[in-house]
Structure 1
Amino acid sequence: SFKIRGVGHLCMKLKQREQQCQRVICSSGGNAGLACAYACLKLHLKSIVVTPITTSNRIRTLISEYGSEVITQGGVWNEADEFARRLVEKDEGSSVYLPPFDHEDIWIGVSSIIDELVEQLPTDMKPYAIVQSVGGGGLLNGILYGLKNYSEWSDVNVIAMETEGADCFSQALKAKQLVTLPAITSMAKSLGALTVSSKSYELSHLFNLHSYVLPDAQAVQACKQFLDDHRMLVELASGVSLAFIYSNLFNEEKKQIKLPSNCTDESPIIIIVCGGSGITMESLTQLCEQFNLN
């Protein structure tokens, strides 16, 4: 639910600040567009969601069912985003641009995940690590914003997971500067930002952050295993986070991941399981066949 936490919070703020706003225009590979359409429906705002051609017809239909106009433009999200920005410019003040991940109000909304973890865990317990996937960086920024609000949680390990071919964050950390990928070659299209948020790169140096990149096949295998274990169907953006455990990566890297203060080996690992709208049983079966996982 992190998309509706963040995008919903931003939509509410936009309605408060932009009194003359007649329409919200958002670009999205899928999940942010769904959140925008739903939030605008509840806030009685008109909306347009611009998606790239890689967004499935199913997702476009779901977005339109919430009342948004859906426009398909560009081969990747970045191209759809450029088109959305041009639409806003042409409207000359009657429309407001809504970014899918790169805005502080989105990160503040997402940070409520940490508020709820603090509330739900026993007072003397904090996580060993929090695992999430990284696309554009909205979820990661929200988690880091949340951790900043609780000094006793500031040393919690943050695990940033990406798939090969959608790993702009990992490449930025290695290059020590933002990196723009030439293309998205991963099947995890909802992680398909060519460049990560500059705030993600900035905040990464302030926390115990560990970045890992896995092949699509391991993300698909994790989706399959999670379905068997919990009867929940999630897309590859979640699968790559689940693969941190399912692929045995955690056990392999455990010596490199230090225990936070007041934690033990029994302290919980929190995995943010997000993104189920872009997957069906049929598409997961096809992915399993593609990677010979049946």
Structure 2
Amino acid sequence: MITFADLEAAQRRTAPYVRRTPLIAVDPVADAHVWLKAEYMQRCGVFKTRGAFNRQLAARTAGELDQAVGIVAASGGNAGLANAYAASTLGVPATVFVPENAPPVKVERLREYGATVVLRGGEYAEAYEAAQQHVRETGALFCHAYDQPEIVAGAGVIGLEIVEDLPAVDTIVVAVGGGGLFAGVAAAARERGIRVVAVEPVRIPTLRAAMDAGQPVDIAVSGIAQDSLGARRIGAAGWDAARASAPVSVLVEDADILAARAALWQEYRVPAEPGAAAAYAALSSGAYLPEPGERVAVIICGANTDPTTLG
């Protein structure tokens, strides 16, 4: 399981390559104090850049990164962007397998980062299988979208930063897809006794389904946030984190996600993609109702979206 020490090591390793994003105070919700962790300002516009650098830098140090063969990733878009950017920065080639329905804005940016983009299948699971075949054929370093220790620890630095910038924080609200960000943040929160609210779309409840079944299970993937939260099941890291310290599990409707996304743009000029708006939707929809005076940090984890749809 990822530890607080793993987060500190990831923070030291990645500091020269990533941005420390701000924690921004916004309007209260139900008399609770609310901050937005502005991870949408991260390089590549998404939190996954942290894990990508942590994975690739750690592999390079360990002699596991072949400079000629490079890395491979499977992604609905954001993990691919992050790993392609990290590979470009470190001077190694990247191949990224994406579902055929990946947003064009993300596919175009992948190519801008110099990645070889391969469209494969209708959802993340099919792109993942194609990427695994590529690993077997080439020996490329596989960079998982959410379920490798270095990926999780890199993402968890976000929780570490929140704790450092707001030591009195009571609650951290985080969107869940495959569970890497949740697992990393949970490692930071567990150390300090902080509540974690795990938010999922009603149509992609990977964590809730696992909690109900007592183990990770496959689910159907659909809805407005499937390009970034569209894992078929919760990853091992996310499941381990949930068993270690059960989060508050919250589900939000697609309509609530869209309303939260519109509110973030109209009120704060935050260009959140739907998956990133899911966390704020927990508050704006009332799915999670904080106590008066509760200090709540909401992670807005990505901004790779078509700006013409922001309203």
Q: With structure 2 as the length reference, what TM-score do the two structures score?
A: 0.81
1:28-67 alignment, distance < 5 Å: 28-67=75-114
- Which structure has the higher relative contact order (CA within 8 Å, separation 6+)? 2
SS of equivalent residue, structure 1 residue 205: helix
Aligned to 2:33: none
Which of 173, 178, 182 is the aligned partner of 1:131? 173
- Greater Rg, structure 1 or structure 2? 1
Cα deviation for residue 156 of structure 1 reads: 1.2
- Hey, what's the Cα distance between the residues in 2 that align with 1:165 and 1:240? 12
SS of equivalent residue, structure 2 residue 288: helix
Aligned to 1:258: none
Paired letter, 2:146 = F
- Hey, what's the Cα distance between the residues in 2 that align with 1:100 and 1:217? 26
Aligned residues: 263
Q: Tell me the C-alpha RMSD between the 2 structures.
A: 1.6
Aligned to 1:266: 293
- Hey, what's the Cα distance between the residues in 2 that align with 1:90 and 1:83? 11
Instruction: Decide whether the 8 Å contact of 1:157 with 1:207 is kept in 2.
Output: no
- Hey, what's the Cα distance between the residues in 2 that align with 1:10 and 1:20? 13
Which of 189, 209, 226 is the aligned partner of 1:147? 189
Cα deviation for residue 281 of structure 1 reads: 3.2
Instruction: Decide whether the 8 Å contact of 2:162 with 2:297 is kept in 1.
Output: no
Cα deviation for residue 267 of structure 1 reads: 3.9
SS of equivalent residue, structure 1 residue 271: strand
Paired letter, 1:63 = L
1:110-125 alignment, distance < 5 Å: 110-121=155-166, 125=167
1:233-272 alignment, distance < 5 Å: 233-251=271-289, 254=290, 265-272=292-299
> C-alpha offsets along residues 123-154 of structure 1, whole Å, 9 cap, x if unaligned?
xx422210010001110011022234x3xx1x
Paired letter, 1:269 = V
> C-alpha offsets along residues 8-41 of structure 1, whole Å, 9 cap, x if unaligned?
1101112222153522010011111110011001
- Structure 1 residues 68 and 173 mapped into 2: Cα distance closer, same or farther (>3 Å)? same
Aligned to 2:28: none
Aligned to 2:149: 104
1:279-294 alignment, distance < 5 Å: 279-285=305-311
Aligned to 1:290: none
Paired letter, 2:307 = M
- Hey, what's the Cα distance between the residues in 2 that align with 1:20 and 1:41? 14
> C-alpha offsets along residues 225-252 of structure 1, whole Å, 9 cap, x if unaligned?
111110111111122111111112233x
Paired letter, 1:209 = P
Aligned to 1:178: 216
- Hey, what's the Cα distance between the residues in 2 that align with 1:281 and 1:186? 19
Cα deviation for residue 202 of structure 1 reads: 1.9
Paired letter, 1:167 = P
Q: With structure 1 as the length reference, what TM-score do the two structures score?
A: 0.85
The runs of at least 4 consecutive aligned structure 1 residues that moved more than 4 Å come to: none
Aligned to 2:70: 23
- Hey, what's the Cα distance between the residues in 1 that align with 2:254 and 2:151? 28
Cα deviation for residue 283 of structure 1 reads: 3.3
- Hey, what's the Cα distance between the residues in 2 that align with 1:228 and 1:24? 39
Aligned to 1:76: 123
Cα deviation for residue 208 of structure 1 reads: 4.8
- Hey, what's the Cα distance between the residues in 2 that align with 1:281 and 1:76? 24
Instruction: Decide whether the 8 Å contact of 2:168 with 2:295 is kept in 1.
Output: yes
Instruction: Decide whether the 8 Å contact of 1:108 with 1:146 is kept in 2.
Output: no
